[in-house]
Amino acid sequence: MLRVEGLTAGYGRAQVLFGIDLEVPAGAVVSVMGRNGVGKTTLLNTVMGVLPATGGRVLFDGADITRRGTHARVRGRIGYVPQGHGTFPQLTVEENLLVAWEATGRRDPGGVAAALGVFPRLRELLKRRAGFLSGGQQQQLAIARALVTDPRLLVLDEPTEGIQPSIVAEIEEAITTLHQNRGLTVLLVEQYLDIALRLADAFTVIDRGSVVRQGGRAELRDGEIQRLLAI
Amino acid sequence: MHALLGQLPVGLSIGAVLLLVALGLNFTFGQMGVVNMAHGEFLMAGAYTAFVLQAWFGAQSVLVGLPVAFVVVGLMGLALERGLIRHFYGRPLDTLLLTWGVSLILQQVARDVFGAPNVDVAAPGWLAGGVDAAGVRLHYSRLFILALAVLCVLAVGWYLARSRTGRQMRAVTQNRQLAACSGIDTARVDQITFFIGSGVAGVAGVALTLIGPIGPTLGSTYIVDAFLVVVVGGLGQLRGAVLAAAVLGLLNAYAEFWSDASLAKVVVFAVIIAFLQVRPQGLFVLRSRALT
């Protein structure tokens, strides 16, 4: 479904990605692993067009989307949850969801209700301003916001970072349910190895902007990822 | 006592003018953070729109001018954003110089087209005269401006809080990158913001024709006041701008009542400087739970 070919990107003269190849087949959950500062977030940002690619291609369903704007990719049904439980702090929970839904150009309230079905906890908070939610609630809202546009591919950047364990479990369960029941394809950056191992069926380990190991759960020997991620 | 009370409507009327000229800046400066020095010339363009319409609509040109100026000046703002400003996002100093240059060009264009002397726009007959209240004569034209200011604030408030594009505008203001990640076309929202902000300046310009004659330098008379209202009120805060305009208007009226016009200006500026020392963020600030 998503195919990344020889992707390079960076900030000014500082190149961060040195030719990344990545394949996310339809229905798969692929986890990008790596130590801090190796370019995981940069990779996702480049895939989503937040950061322009300096070389290589990003293909979605065979179409080259490398030069498309971020909003066009989202409307093309790629959902993105950037790092750090991003919400619009001054908008209410409802407005946070509504604004994403309205951006798709549709008028009926279907998407918002569907997203709330995934995180029912948000229903009681609809009129609260997002900035006053706890970190975990904000992250649930951030994921719900990405789900509002009915994505076929969901891109998640460290969805469990800095969040209390009970909500981590809820988020993990939500991702699993979406994957199994709706066949949602997921591309994920996850720091916690145990969570990544439970969720993902394929892994890409990157180091210093290059892919060092790629494979399915079976292909990676026990402890190999641990060794690659060891500091 | 009566004379003291009489300054109240005078102050509110000054406040209404301040609010009208600042309302457009609340969009371009408050929401987008663009220091548009040509905002004053957009007021001037709105005023001249009413002047031009006079040839067809005579004394009703002010009324016709309100919607026409909104569109005409809105399109001017859109052209400015598309043609120049968008290439300078994230470079506030360059934007300031750039828009100042645009403001000088627009002034000269007005001089070439309409001539340097001030011109009059005839007010509609039904705005002539006024009522006497508390020993002060309230002109209908001043009351009209007050009503227009209230109407504009309500319209802008509704737009930002309830409308689809208003919501998108607030989302882009709060987190531009996240807005794009939510599927919002941020470049389009910028265009709409600039169109509306400039259009509201056009409306304010039409209202200014009711106060006195208009000329090519009309904008420079109001640009500083407009920025002061937005800064004192708190960036992008509608209720802040309303309160700031009312307070500054009243302060101006009473200071003028006890001294004279130029000393009143000094008093107002001194109070603003003192206020911004204590509260540099303005009257109202966006609050949210700090994220770890």
pLDDT tens track for B68-114: 999 999 999 999 999 999 999 888 899 999 999 999 999 999 999 99
A135: nearest CB among B180, B287, B292: B292
Left, alpha or beta for B58 (phi > 0: left; psi -120 to 50: alpha)?
left
B183 vs A135: CB contact, 8 Å cut-off? no
How far apart CA A138 and CA A163 sit, in angstroms, is 10
Bridge-partner residues for A155, per DSSP?
A: A80, A187
B292: chain A residues, CB-CB within 8 Å: 135, 162
A74: chain B residues, CB-CB within 8 Å: 180-183
Which of the pair, B45 or B262, is modelled with greater confidence?
A: B45
pLDDT tens track for A119-138: 988 999 999 999 899 888 99
Give the nearest chain B residue to A143 (CA atoms): B182
Domain boundaries, chain A: 1-72+155-176+186-230, 78-150
Residue A221 pLDDT class (50, 70, 90 cuts):
low
Q: What is the pLDDT of residue B122?
A: 87
Which of the pair, B40 or A231, is modelled with greater confidence?
A: B40
Query: Which three-class secondary structure state does DSSP give residue A30?
Result: strand
Residue A231: pLDDT above 70? no
Computed from CA positions of residues A117, A118, A119, A122, in that sequence, does the dihedral angle turn out positive or negative? negative
pLDDT tens track for A172-196: 999 999 999 888 999 999 878 888 8
Residue range B265-272: mean pLDDT, rounded: 90
Output DSSP code: residue B214: B
A71: nearest CB among B175, B185, B291: B185
Residue B10: pLDDT above 80? yes
Q: What is the pLDDT of residue A152?
A: 93
A162: chain B residues, CB-CB within 8 Å: 292
pLDDT tens track for A27-40: 999 999 988 889 99
Compute the nearest-CA separation of B157 from chain A (Å): 15
Residue B1: pLDDT above 70? no
Q: What is the pLDDT of residue B289?
A: 43
pLDDT tens track for A75-97: 999 999 999 878 999 899 999 99
Question: Which phi and psi angles does A19 have, rounded to 5°?
Answer: 75, 70
Residue B292 pLDDT class (50, 70, 90 cuts):
very low
Residues 6+ apart with CB under 8 A from A67: none
Compute the nearest-CA separation of B253 from chain A (Å): 35
A152: chain B residues, CB-CB within 8 Å: none
> Which A residues 148-187 touch B at CB under 8 Å?
149, 162
Q: What is the pLDDT of residue A81?
A: 94
A81: chain B residues, CB-CB within 8 Å: 181
Q: If residue A57 lies in a helix (H) or strand (E), which one and from where to where?
A: strand A55-60
Compute the nearest-CA separation of B161 from chain A (Å): 9
Q: What is the pLDDT of residue B156?
A: 94
- Touching check for A214 and chain B: CB below 8 Å? no
A95 vs B174: CB contact, 8 Å cut-off? no
- Look at the block and give the residue holding tokens 């007959």: B125
pLDDT tens track for B149-196: 999 999 999 999 999 999 999 999 889 999 999 999 999 999 999 999
How far apart CA A82 and CA A139 sit, in angstroms, is 10
Residue A165: pLDDT above 80? yes
A135: chain B residues, CB-CB within 8 Å: 291-292
Q: What is the pLDDT of residue B287?
A: 53
Which of the pair, A96 or A104, is modelled with greater confidence?
A: A96
* Strand B136-139 to B130-133 pairing: antiparallel
How far apart CA B177 and CA A62 sit, in angstroms, is 26
The yes or no reply on domain A1-72+155-176+186-230 and CATH 3.40.50.10680 is no
How far apart CA B101 and CA B107 sit, in angstroms, is 10
A71 vs B186: CB contact, 8 Å cut-off? yes
Compute the nearest-CA separation of A32 from chain B (Å): 20
Distances (CA, A) of B231 to A214, B24, B29, B80: 54, 13, 9, 23
Q: Which chain B residues touch A if contact means CB-CB below 8 Å?
A: 164, 167-168, 170-171, 174-175, 177-187, 286-289, 291-292
Give the nearest chain A residue to B237 (CA atoms): A90
Q: What is the pLDDT of residue B183?
A: 93
How far apart CA A106 and CA B80 sit, in angstroms, is 31
Q: If residue A80 lies in a helix (H) or strand (E), which one and from where to where?
A: strand A78-81
Query: Which three-class secondary structure state does DSSP give residue A191?
Result: coil
Which of B182, B238, B288 should we substitute to test contact with A (largest number of A Cβ atoms within 10 Å)? Answer: B182
Q: What is the pLDDT of residue B290?
A: 39
Q: Give percent above pLDDT 90 in chain B.
A: 60
Average pLDDT taken over every residue of chain B: 89
Are the beta carbons of A83 and A51 closer than 8 angstroms? no
pLDDT tens track for B118-146: 999 988 888 888 887 766 777 888 899 99
